[in-house]
Structures are given as structure tokens and as C-alpha cells.
Amino acid sequence: MHRVDADELASALPARVWYLTSNGVDMWCRRPYGFFFSSSEAAMTFAAAMGTGEDLSAIGVDASDLLRDETLGGLRGMEVTRLFIDPAIDPQSGDVFGTILRLAEPN
């Protein structure tokens, strides 16, 4: 897993990105992992499979909003350094798998 900068992250994300939230604003995560999805359906399917017991909902944002320095800084502030893109859960092991990107440190 190599570290990606904002440009590489932009090329890995769809134009609209969905994330899970329990309060309507903040991204639900499992530090150091954050989870982004290409549709609200994929996000809600993942939430149900995770079985967190929390009432999670999906929020869609333009991917360009995620690439701002303050947003990337916010992820780092939450100690999120790895981002799953459209993750899935292995039904046998319960492990999360899929494309994962490691955030590069700011220059």
C-alpha cells in the first residue's frame, strides 16, 4: 500500500463520494480506516454488514470537497490515515477488503 497525495486520491475517487455518518455530519470510521463509497446503496449495504449497532446514514459529497487541505487535515486530525474505497466484508472471516489508499503526509 503506497501513500497517495491529493492528485492520486482524486484519480481514485468517483466524482461523487458517499460516506457513513451517525450524526449527519461527521464521518463514521474505524481508526485508522475511513470508508468511501461510489453510491449510497453501497454505503448502506456495508453499514448493515458491519453490524455496528449504530444508526448510520449515507451522505454524498463532491469528491473535490474531500481534496481540500482542510478536509484532508480533518481526516488526519481524526487519525484516519487509510481510506477504503468501496469496501466489502468477507462473509466467511468478517474481514474488510477492497481498494485501500494510505494518505500521504502534507508537504
Task: Record the pTM.
Answer: 0.88
27-46, pLDDT tens digit by residue? 999 999 999 999 999 999 99
Range of the structural domain that residue 73 is part of = 3-103
Q: How many CB atoms lie within 10 A of CB 84?
A: 20
Domain total for the chain?
A: 1
Q: Given a cut of 70, is residue 2 above it in pLDDT? A: no
Element spanning 25, H or E: none
pLDDT score recorded for residue 53: 85
Predicted confidence band of residue 67 (pLDDT cuts 50, 70, 90):
confident
pLDDT score recorded for residue 91: 87
Domain containing 71 — which CATH number?
A: 3.40.1350
- Residue pointed to by grid coordinates 487541505: 69
Q: How many CB atoms lie within 10 A of CB 43?
A: 26
Averaged pLDDT for residues 43-62: 92
Averaged pLDDT for residues 53-79: 90
pLDDT score recorded for residue 97: 94
71-107, pLDDT tens digit by residue? 888 898 999 999 999 999 998 998 999 989 888 777 6
